[in-house]
Structure 1
């Protein structure tokens, strides 16, 4: 199983466009690392980040209910 994703692959996984991923990287909103100028994502880190985002949204929704 591949554990490192490119920007294109991360965008597909998140179901957003590549520009959105680049913006999130620039704002340091998503876990990533660079090799020279290329941006990569660890699959495990991206999955954990997605779960964290989901938990935060659920917590906000629960507090507003």
Structure 2
């Protein structure tokens, strides 16, 4: 199975937010990412797991 990486723009589109939001979240270490030289990359699996965890946290706090 191929593990494809996503760019900031692709993750922003996937999550429905602005790229500035993704850059801010990366800077604050709020979203799983990896840096390869000057590039910020994401794996779809890690983003999907992160979304699930964030949704669970939201439900736990209600």
Q: TM tier, shorter chain?
A: over 0.9
- Find the structure with the greater CA-based Rg: 1
Relative to the length of structure 1, the TM-score reads: 0.89
Runs of 5+ consecutive residues of structure 2 not aligned to the other structure: none
Q: CA-to-partner distance for each residue in 1:7-62, whole Å, 9 max, x for gaps? A: 0000011110000000000000000001111100011000000000000001111x
Unmatched segments (≥5 aa) in structure 1: none
Number of matched pairs? 61
Cross-structure match for 2:53 = 52
Across the aligned residues of Structure 1 and Structure 2, the Cα RMSD in angstroms comes to: 1.2
TM-score (ref. length: structure 2): 0.93
Cα distance in 2, alignment partners of residues 54 and 11 from structure 1: 17
Structure 1 or 2: larger helix share? 1
